[in-house]
């Protein structure tokens, strides 16, 4: 997590940043500022004499939440912190499988090339490792398919429930009450 220096007396800003998960510390010496990923100061003129390549955020005339938001934006802009929406998505599907397959191939290749063995032993090990890698990849693909299938079923259930609720809402049937056909006498 990003390290943020906060100039004294902005303790409320430090507390807010800590609650948001940042490693926020009070700035003891102004010369320590370049050691941090971001610096929050009372006024820009407080750090005029120090050259820094880190974001400096002026607190003067701003609320604590405005300062915290500016810290987030600046850290995302400098690459010190990724966008929270992209962090929550994670890797899945084809990119994950491709990455794992490439990693397995690189690992097997490195192991083979670094192990001193005769030609016959080396070919046998290559065949064994290739078979193991193929099995692992097949198992992983099966697991991903199963999880995708479960997710697809869950989405279908949610979609059907939403359709039923929408239809009931439009027809005036209360939720939980099932519609039954009324028999018609002839």
Strands 3-7 and 23-27, by their bridges, are parallel
Same domain flag for 98 and 142: yes
Is residue 7 within 8 A of residue 41, CB to CB? The reply is yes
Q: CB burial class (10 A; 0-12, 13-18, 19+) of residue 186?
A: exposed
**Mean pLDDT score, 23-33:** 80
Domain of 39 in residue numbering reads as 3-85
Mean pLDDT of the chain: 78
For residue 186, what pLDDT band results from cuts at 50, 70 and 90? low
pLDDT(174) > 80: no
Within-domain flag for 179 = no
Last residue of a domain, one of 47, 62, 85: 85
Question: What's phi and psi for 2, nearest 5 deg?
Answer: -70, 145
Within-domain flag for 176 = no
At residue 125, the pLDDT reads 79
Within-domain flag for 181 = no
20, 36, 103, 104 from 143: Cα distances, Å:
35, 43, 18, 17
pLDDT(82) > 80: no
What is the rounded CA–CA span in Å between residue 37 and residue 81? 10
Highest average pLDDT, of 22-26, 29-33, 100-104, 117-121, comes from 22-26
Same domain flag for 64 and 126: no
CATH code of the domain covering residue 43: 3.40.50
Is residue 47 within 8 A of residue 68, CB to CB? The reply is no
Buried (b) or exposed (e) across 16-50, using 16+ Cβ within 10 A? bbeeeebebeebeeeeebeebbbbbbbeeebbeee
Last residue of a domain, one of 85, 108, 131: 85
pLDDT(102) > 50: yes
Same domain flag for 124 and 75: no
């Amino acid at each position: 997590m990003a390290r943020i220096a906060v100039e004294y007396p902005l303790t409320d800003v430090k507390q807010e940043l800590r609650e948001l998960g940042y490693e926020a510390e009070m700035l003891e010496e102004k010369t320590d500022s370049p050691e941090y990923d971001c610096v929050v100061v009372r006024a820009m003129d407080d750090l005029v004499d120090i050259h820094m390549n880190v974001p400096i955020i002026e607190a003067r005339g701003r609320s604590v939440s405005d300062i915290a938001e500016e810290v987030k934006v600046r850290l995302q802009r400098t690459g010190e912190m990724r966008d929270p929406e992209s962090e929550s998505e994670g890797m899945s599907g084809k990119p994950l499988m491709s990455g794992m397959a490439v990693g397995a191939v690189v690992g097997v290749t490195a192991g083979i090339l670094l192990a001193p063995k005769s030609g016959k032993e080396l070919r046998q090990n290559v065949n064994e490792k290739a078979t193991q890698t193929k099995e692992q990849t097949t198992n992983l693909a099966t697991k991903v398919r199963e999880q995708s299938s479960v997710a697809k079923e869950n989405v279908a259930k949610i979609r059907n429930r939403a359709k039923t609720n929408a239809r009931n809402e439009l027809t005036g049937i209360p939720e939980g009450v099932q519609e039954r056909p009324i028999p018609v006498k002839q």
